[in-house]
């Protein structure tokens, strides 16, 4: 079946030849993605949406034993392409947990480049189950397909996958055949069900293997809704703000994979008031997010990126906006929130806004069990703190205070997310948008804000570190 790219039948020689040709045809595409003019953001999207999808049909119609060797080679080639394009540590230098996080789905804190070889058995078994109402009478006990079905079933339910037998995956092959031979039992979504269980098992194993609470908090935060926006956001000519340069995108991926901003180890903080030595990779991973001497520099720029984006969106929705001049007490704490927005529709309340970014892996948060067990724990703590600071000020001015808190890995605090939904409703009323257009406006607004955050994160990372030679003696 040349047009579809696979071989259905028992001719193993032809099937193996088609598999080899199909896999090899992907290699030039992977090599082309490594061209200097191909942005990293686009390269990763093309790998996920085009190259991996191109091989998915092949996995569903080819018996795993015929395809496994070729897919393992392809996994290695894809990993090397990702490493070279994103300028990550080499495969030999990369920790096992980093490789696993590359393969994890985006919703679980990874970057969504799964192992094709590992998905071969679930894809084949799910495809067979989907076709069983028409095929079951032709399956011969002891034949090649029956042996492959039994092997795939055993692989899927092996203890190391984390997949357990249930109503979707019966514990024995005869039960499986009986269940799906009936046309009333649909196998739609079976492959997703299997892979979802396996991925969650890997995430749980990763959390258990981490030695520091900061690592656990980082993975949990990266798995929160919307934290993976740059990995799924497709650059578009109508939204230039959705495109990230390779330098910025690579820093985003490094932060998500819990890697230091670069692979040079003898570094020190570039902030003159700090100049702390950071000799190990673990020292370098979070320093640019937690350095107390950066509050008036790059972190302020990141804060302003987000604030300016929010105010721009508010103006699109018909609000009048005004930034508040900083007013500080004797301890340097702000007495006023960042901005005021007022709707041109008089029935809407005046809103006081304050933007804040919290790093869940910071020492002040990661000892708390909540931030290492569920997303947005750090954001919730910061929201409470902001309410304590500004609720009285807003109430005295007959306004409503809204804390716009984000976690540094990209998750929106619940009140920020609710604010964007409300802003979209006002924009719909102001601009005459229908429901579909309103949802698209909210989606694009969320993307604009996420991109502003990660541009600020990259700026902090790139300007915080420098080789220590020109400032410290390096003879030790």
pLDDT in tens, 29-41: 999 999 999 999 9
Give the chain's mean pLDDT: 86
Nearest of 13, 451, 8, 466 to residue 232 by alpha carbon: 451
Q: What percent of the chain has pLDDT over 70?
A: 88
pLDDT band at 468 (very low <50, low <70, confident <90, very high): very low
Closest CA to 198 of 126, 122, 130, 128: 122
Mean pLDDT calculated for residue range 275-294: 73
pLDDT number for residue 274 = 74
What pLDDT band is residue 465 in, cutting at 50, 70 and 90? low
Is pLDDT above 70 for 164? Answer: yes
Bridge partners for 405 per DSSP: 356
Q: Which one has a higher pLDDT value, 16 or 8? A: 16
Q: Decide the pairing of beta strands 319-323 and 277-278.
A: unpaired
Strand arrangement, sheet containing 319-323: 319-323, 339-343, 351-358, 400-407
pLDDT tens digit string along 339-356? 999 987 766 789 999 999
DSSP-derived secondary structure for 117-148:
HHHHHHHHHHHHHHHHHHHGGGPPTTSHHHHH
Report how far residue 77's alpha carbon sits from residue 354's, in angstroms, rounded to the nearest whole number: 46
Q: Which residue has the tokens 């005046």?
A: 350
What is the mean pLDDT of the segment spanning 107-118? 94
Whole-number Å distance between alpha carbons of 165 and 167? 7
For the record, the structure tokens of 272 come out as 């003159």
CA distance 237 to 62: 40
- Please say if the pLDDT value at position 417 is more than 50: yes
Question: pLDDT tens digit string along 289-331?
Answer: 777 766 567 788 899 999 999 999 999 999 999 998 776 766 6
Go through the chain and tell me how many residues it has: 476
Q: Which residues of 279-347 form beta strands (DSSP E)? A: 319-323, 339-343
The Cα-based distances of 123 to 152, 162, 359 in angstroms read 9, 17, 38
> What's the predicted TM-score (pTM) here?
0.89
- At 232-262, the pLDDT tens digits run 999 888 888 899 999 999 999 999 999 988 8
């Amino acid at each position: 079946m040349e047009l579809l790219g696979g071989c259905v039948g028992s001719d193993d020689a032809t099937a193996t030849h088609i598999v080899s040709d199909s896999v090899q045809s992907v290699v030039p595409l992977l090599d082309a993605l490594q061209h200097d003019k191909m942005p990293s953001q686009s390269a990763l999207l093309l790998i996920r949406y085009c190259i991996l999808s191109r091989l998915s049909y092949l996995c569903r119609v080819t018996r795993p034993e015929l395809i496994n060797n070729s897919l393992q080679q392809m996994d290695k080639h894809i990993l090397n392409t990702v490493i070279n394009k994103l300028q990550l540590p080499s495969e030999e230098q990369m920790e096992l947990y980093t490789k696993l996080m590359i393969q994890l789905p985006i919703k679980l804190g990874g970057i969504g480049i799964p192992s094709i070889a590992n998905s071969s058995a679930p894809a084949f078994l799910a495809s067979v189950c989907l076709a069983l109402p028409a095929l079951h009478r032709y399956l011969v006990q002891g034949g090649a397909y029956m042996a492959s079905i039994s092997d795939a079933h055993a692989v899927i339910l092996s203890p190391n996958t984390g997949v357990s037998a249930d109503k979707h995956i019966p514990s024995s092959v005869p039960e499986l055949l009986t269940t799906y031979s009936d046309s009333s039992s649909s196998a739609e979504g079976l492959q997703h069900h299997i892979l979802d269980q396996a991925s969650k098992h890997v995430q749980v194993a990763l959390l258990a293997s981490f030695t520091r609470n900061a690592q656990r908090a980082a993975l949990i935060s990266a798995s929160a809704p919307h934290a993976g926006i740059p990995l799924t956001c497709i650059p578009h000519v109508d939204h230039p703000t959705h495109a990230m340069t390779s330098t910025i995108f690579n820093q985003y991926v490094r932060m998500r994979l819990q890697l230091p901003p670069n692979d040079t180890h003898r570094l020190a903080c570039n902030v003159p008031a700090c100049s702390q030595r950071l000799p190990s990779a673990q020292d370098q991973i979070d320093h640019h997010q937690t350095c107390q001497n950066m509050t008036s520099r790059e972190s302020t720029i990141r804060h302003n990126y987000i604030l300016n984006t929010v105010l721009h969106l508010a103006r699109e929705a018909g609000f009048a906006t005004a930034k508040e001049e900083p007013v500080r007490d004797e301890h340097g704490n702000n007495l006023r929130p960042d901005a005021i927005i007022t709707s041109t529709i008089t029935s809407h309340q005046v809103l006081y806004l304050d933007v804040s970014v919290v790093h869940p892996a910071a020492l002040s948060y990661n000892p708390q069990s909540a931030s290492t067990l569920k997303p947005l724990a750090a954001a919730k703590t910061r929201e409470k703190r902001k309410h304590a600071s500004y609720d009285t000020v807003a109430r005295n001015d007959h306004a409503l205070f809204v804390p716009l808190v984000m976690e540094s890995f990209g998750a929106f605090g619940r009140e920020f997310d609710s604010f964007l939904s409300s802003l979209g409703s006002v924009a719909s009323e102001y601009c005459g948008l229908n429901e579909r257009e309103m949802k698209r406006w909210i989606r694009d607004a969320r993307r604009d804000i996420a991109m502003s955050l990660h541009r600020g994160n990259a700026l902090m990372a790139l300007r915080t570190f420098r080789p220590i030679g020109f400032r410290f003696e390096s003879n030790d």
